[in-house]
Structure 1
């Protein structure tokens, strides 16, 4: 079993918040494809990263799905679509092997 996490920004690069509908469409698509999704939307996480000597901060929301198989081509296509939808240079999608208890 794998846990896949998608990290999406709450705002675009100009500081304008994305509409609730933007996140709802992601949630609905994932729920339909993977028969369930957990969306952490109410309490955005703080992201901080360094690029060269410059620090960047962001508020993010996280979507999680569990799946037996990881189709990397499908996930790369989904990442490209999310980068376009949320006008981002890079959307982080990561997967971790998990054991259900």
Structure 2
């Protein structure tokens, strides 16, 4: 997580990435290392939860589907929505996904 020099409100951005391609083939570790490095270089820090993947579930066409997911988190002062839209679309293309979930929430650094 990127640190801040002053106390106050910041934004936590989380990116939820599937660990496997749509056909079930695991993505190589290098794919996640590249994303982690890109976020670290862009934001000065990143937290990656990828060793013990979380489970994502959703309903589609009346059936429950699921993925093992990795979560990447960065902390920023403000959100550049244009950059995040571009990065989400880039990840969707790289990973062959219809949608990558990217969320933002307010946090307070204590």
Relative to the length of structure 1, the TM-score reads: 0.98
What is aligned with 2:25?
16
In the alignment, the residues of structure 1 paired with residue 67 and residue 12 of structure 2 have an alpha-carbon distance, to the nearest angstrom, of 23
Structure 2: gaps of 5 or more residues: 1-9
What is aligned with 1:95?
104
Q: Report the Cα offset of residue 52 of structure 1.
A: 3.5
Structure 1: gaps of 5 or more residues: none
Q: How many residues align?
A: 101
In the alignment, the residues of structure 1 paired with residue 108 and residue 61 of structure 2 have an alpha-carbon distance, to the nearest angstrom, of 37
User: RMSD over aligned Cα, in angstroms?
Assistant: 0.6
Q: Report the Cα offset of residue 89 of structure 1.
A: 0.3
Q: Report the Cα offset of residue 53 of structure 1.
A: 1.1
Q: Report the Cα offset of residue 55 of structure 1.
A: 0.5
**Larger of the two Rg values belongs to structure:** 2
